């Protein structure tokens, strides 16, 4: 637990996971049972296509990496929100456990895994802007997810609870349990 978290009496949870693993849905359910739960959705921090192209001058934008996001803004916003009296803040997104300045703020980390087939099936039900081009899932999203998962598993500072998205109800119940236990220790 970060000293600043204790100072402000807030628990900060990092909820990472693959694309379409249920992170946002889990957070919405938690907000229904924890009135002062504040959620940061990493998706709101994507750079515009024009901004992102500056980070990828010689290649197509890889939206599955930190340079495609305003991660420093996310860190600053989380730090500011920590001062506002919430009992818990959840920061969710596919890369929230892969950015060291953000990791430093987390009291607890959770990562939701999912199979290739489930991720692909769920992704096909979503609309993205810019839209996924041909082969984007197979050639960028999935390999990016495997790299993110490998980084999370090999980072000694994280020690995340790894959950499987195959059964969304079980994943939600486990996250709820972890959040409630962490809050009880506050």
Residues marked as catalytic: 43
Output phi, psi for 15, to 5 deg: -115, 100
| R_g over Cα of the chain | 16
The continuous run of DSSP H or E covering 119 comes out as: helix 116-123
Q: How far is CA 165 from CA 50, 62, 125, 141, 174, in A?
A: 33, 24, 16, 17, 11
């Amino acid at each position: 637990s970060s000293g600043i978290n204790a100072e402000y009496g807030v628990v900060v949870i990092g909820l990472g996971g693959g694309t379409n693993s249920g992170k946002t849905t889990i957070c919405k359910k938690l907000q229904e049972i924890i009135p002062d739960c504040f959620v940061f959705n990493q998706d709101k921090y994507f750079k515009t296509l024009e901004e992102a192209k500056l980070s990828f001058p010689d290649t197509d934008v890889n939206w599955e990496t930190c340079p495609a996001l305003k991660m420093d803004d996310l860190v600053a916003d989380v730090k500011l929100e920590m001062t506002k009296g919430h009992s818990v803040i959840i920061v969710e997104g596919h890369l929230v456990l892969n950015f060291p300045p953000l990791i430093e703020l987390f009291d607890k980390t959770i990562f939701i895994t999912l199979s290739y087939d489930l991720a692909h099936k769920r992704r096909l039900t979503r609309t993205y802007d810019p839209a996924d081009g041909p082969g984007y899932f197979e050639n960028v999203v999935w390999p990016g997810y495997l790299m993110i998962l490998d980084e999370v598993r090999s980072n000694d500072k994280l020690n995340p609870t790894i959950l499987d998205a195959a059964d969304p109800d079980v994943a939600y119940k486990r996250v709820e349990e972890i959040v409630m236990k962490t809050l009880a220790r506050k």
